[in-house]
Amino acid sequence: MSAAILHGSAEGGLRQRLRFGPLWLAAPGIAFLAVFFIYPVLRLLGLSVQDAETGAWTGDHYARIVDTGVYFRVLMGTFRIAGLTALFSLLLGYPLAYWLAQLPERRRGAMVLAVMIPFWTSYLVKTFAWMVILGRNGVINGILSAGGLPAPEMLHNEFGVMVGMVHAMLPLAVLTMLPVMTGIDRRLVQAAETLGAAPGHAFWLVYFQLSLPGVAAAGLLTFISSLGFFIVPALLGGPQQTMLAQLIITQIQEMLNWAFAGALATFMLVSALVTCWVYDRVFGLSTLSGEGARRKTGGGGMRKAGQRILSALAALTAAAARVTAPVLGERGRDRLPAIYSTLVLVFLVAPAVVVVPIAFTSSPFLDFPPPGYSLKWFEVYFGSDLWLGATLRSFGVAFATAILATLVAGLAALALARSTSRWRGAIFALFLAPMIVPRIVIAVGLFYLFAQIGLVATDLGLIIGHTVLALPFAFVAIAAVVKGHDWRLDQAAATLGANRVQTLMRVTVPLIRGGLVAAFLFAFITSFDELTVAIFVSGGVKTTLPKQMWDDMILQLNPTLASVSVVVFVIVMALLLIAERLRRSGR
């Protein structure tokens, strides 16, 4: 009896070890994230409940937030702006994603690129462009005053912030909804129509419901990303639009009040996590990685209410269609989505385009259109040790980050691909977590840690920080390709006499090469563009390109910024195009 038990447990143990085996490949990534992500964030949370002098437990910092009206207002304002941004991104983005999803695959690729470009364009470049467009003497006011119309104030108010935020988040919303929509079987809509549903009913009761996981994921990601924003509100908003991340930066850079910054960061983190938790309850987090919605049973009451709302929407749509049909005609109705989508795409791409002529202006001001053209602002850029040094540093840091992130994420993705371990889900979540935890929280936590171990103002510190932020992107890029990898080919290689290393190098890596290169380039871009960590960790002569741009943009706008923007834009676009091409050929 006891022998049987012993035997059973020994075998169970062996099997456990075998099953855990491949997961060891994820160990470097887990260790890295534990030290440079989990620990600093937890430490920051710890600081928020400690007295700075005595180290005793205290809730004072939180009490101060609630008691001091201004902090509480900022907190509420942050939720308001993030919520509105998510809402508008979904409303504007859904029709565009819908239109993209029904395009033939070849054309869709080209159109999606028009969304990818603003997605990967630096927030600084985009924000700079909006400052030029919306400014008092900006592009729009120039056009209005030329027509003899009054020039409204569009900058340093809520309008400016919302334009900048929605423009920044719209691509993320569209790119999150798109895969869900392309995955919907359009024949289901046809089936609904053959069963007697009017187009409006078929859309709301079939297509829209099937696209809901994508909508929810897009809402989640845009809301969480918006929570941690500071570039857009700082540059396009006024004091009324101050957001939480700006407060945290001020607390640390000007007040050196770590504990209070920690409390503010905790608020932000908790809101992000609560949002995620609610999302997970309703849709399941796995939908984020495109693993398909986990069907939640129950919730019958809510479901019925939802169905009733959708039915009402369907009826409304049908009525609207009847009213507008005579006006639009058949052709008009068919063209409407394309016209709308083109307008949104123009809204997405235009700002980057506006910056280009300004980079070549002969004027010392940001007039549009420029009074004349010259290369002098590029000469300023290429003649400046500060700018060139920052550019080179950014390149070096981005390169190292890309290698590190691709290696670590690649091993983890391979480890998780075939694992059936119960730890799989947790490890998966860990690698995606730096995407969910607001960057400002990670950056402040890392700053505190680096200050203790002497990594502030070092390239290594930057590389580590950027790798934490780039890991999720690299991981997703590789995991997507590995998911489609045919593991029978590895088995075939083994039966043909290849050992593990030979199989990996000659079969697996060449076949997932597209994903690896894409991961490398995405990580490179993430680092090359990164400001949040750089604000704290780089400084003085050890500045990076985004940090230098940020400093200049806060001090004074000048055409050099436009030429720098063009340089950054061209580099990032070139990398993006290469990554996209490789990703597609890798399939």
Partner 1 sequence: MSPSHGTAPPACKLLVDGLTKSYGSVVALQPTRLEVPAGEFLTLLGPSGSGKTTLLQMICGLVEPNGGRILIDGRDETRTPVHKRDIGLVFQHYALFPHLTVAENIGFPLRMRGVAASDLDRRVREALDMVHLGHLGDRFPKELSGGQQQRVALARCFVYQPSVILMDEPLGALDKKLREQMQYEIKRLHRETGATIIYVTHDQEEALAMSDRICLMNHARIEQIGTPHDIYARPKTAFAADFIGVSNIFRGRIQQDDGGAPILVTGGGRFRLSAATAASGRGEASLIVRPEQLDLDGEGDNEVSGQVVDTVYAGSETRVLVALGDQSTITVRLRRGMSPPPLGDRVAVRWRSDAGVLVS
Amino acid at 187: R
Are 532 and 446 in contact, with CB atoms under 8 Å apart? no
- Asked if 488 is part of the footprint of partner 1 (rule: CB under 8 A), the reply reads yes
Q: Which is nearer to partner 1, 17 or 187 (CB)?
A: 17
Q: How far is the CB of 511 from partner 1 (least distance, A)?
A: 6
Q: How many CB atoms are located within 10 Å of the residue 499 CB? A: 9
Answer for which of 273, 356, 380, 494 binds partner 1 (CB under 8 A) is 494
Instruction: List strand residue ranges (DSSP E) for 458-550, in order.
Output: none
Amino acid at 458: T
Answer for which of 25, 390, 430, 493 binds partner 1 (CB under 8 A) is 493
Residue 471 tokens, joined: 């890991």
Residues binding partner 1: number (CB under 8 A): 18
- Asked if 510 is part of the footprint of partner 1 (rule: CB under 8 A), the reply reads yes
- Asked if 495 is part of the footprint of partner 1 (rule: CB under 8 A), the reply reads yes
Q: How far is the CB of 498 from partner 1 (least distance, A)?
A: 5
Nearest one of 160, 159, 143 to 151, comparing CA atoms = 143
Binding segment for partner 1 (CB under 8 A), chosen from 156-164, 290-298, 487-495, 544-552, is 487-495
DSSP conformational letter for 538: -
Q: For residue 369, say if its preceding peptide bond is cis, omega within 30 degrees of 0.
A: yes
Q: How far is the CB of 286 from partner 1 (least distance, A)?
A: 25
**Cα dihedral 233, 235, 239, 240 sign:** negative
Nearest one of 210, 262, 206, 264 to 65, comparing CA atoms = 264
- Asked if 217 is part of the footprint of partner 1 (rule: CB under 8 A), the reply reads no
The residues near 487 (Cβ < 8 Å, ≥ 6 apart) are 417, 418
Interface pattern 342-381 for partner 1 (x via CB under 8 A): ----------------------------------------
Q: How far is the CB of 507 from partner 1 (least distance, A)?
A: 6
- Asked if 52 is part of the footprint of partner 1 (rule: CB under 8 A), the reply reads no
Q: Which is nearer to partner 1, 422 or 488 (CB)?
A: 488
Q: Which is nearer to partner 1, 228 or 410 (CB)?
A: 410
Binding segment for partner 1 (CB under 8 A), chosen from 185-193, 215-223, 463-471, 493-501, is 493-501
Are 569 and 575 in contact, with CB atoms under 8 Å apart? no
Answer for which of 55, 239, 298, 497 binds partner 1 (CB under 8 A) is 497
Q: How far is the CB of 520 from partner 1 (least distance, A)?
A: 19
- Asked if 484 is part of the footprint of partner 1 (rule: CB under 8 A), the reply reads no
Radius of gyration of the chain (CA): 26
Binding segment for partner 1 (CB under 8 A), chosen from 43-51, 111-119, 246-254, 496-504, is 496-504
CA dihedral angle for residue 303, residue 85, residue 528, residue 132, rounded to 10 degrees: 160
**Under DSSP, is residue 466 helix (H, G, I), strand (E, B) or coil?**
helix
Answer for which of 507, 535, 537, 568 binds partner 1 (CB under 8 A) is 507
Number of residues that this document lists for the chain: 587
Are 517 and 436 in contact, with CB atoms under 8 Å apart? no
- Asked if 582 is part of the footprint of partner 1 (rule: CB under 8 A), the reply reads no
- Asked if 491 is part of the footprint of partner 1 (rule: CB under 8 A), the reply reads yes
Is residue 544 classed exposed, middle or buried when 0-12, 13-18 and 19+ CB atoms within 10 A define those classes?
buried
Answer for which of 305, 492, 554, 574 binds partner 1 (CB under 8 A) is 492
Site for partner 1 in 392-451 (CB under 8 A): none
**Tokens 């078929």 appear where?**
202
Q: How far is the CB of 477 from partner 1 (least distance, A)?
A: 19
> Which residues in this chain contact partner 1 in the complex, by CB under 8 A?
486, 488-489, 491-499, 502-503, 506-507, 510-511
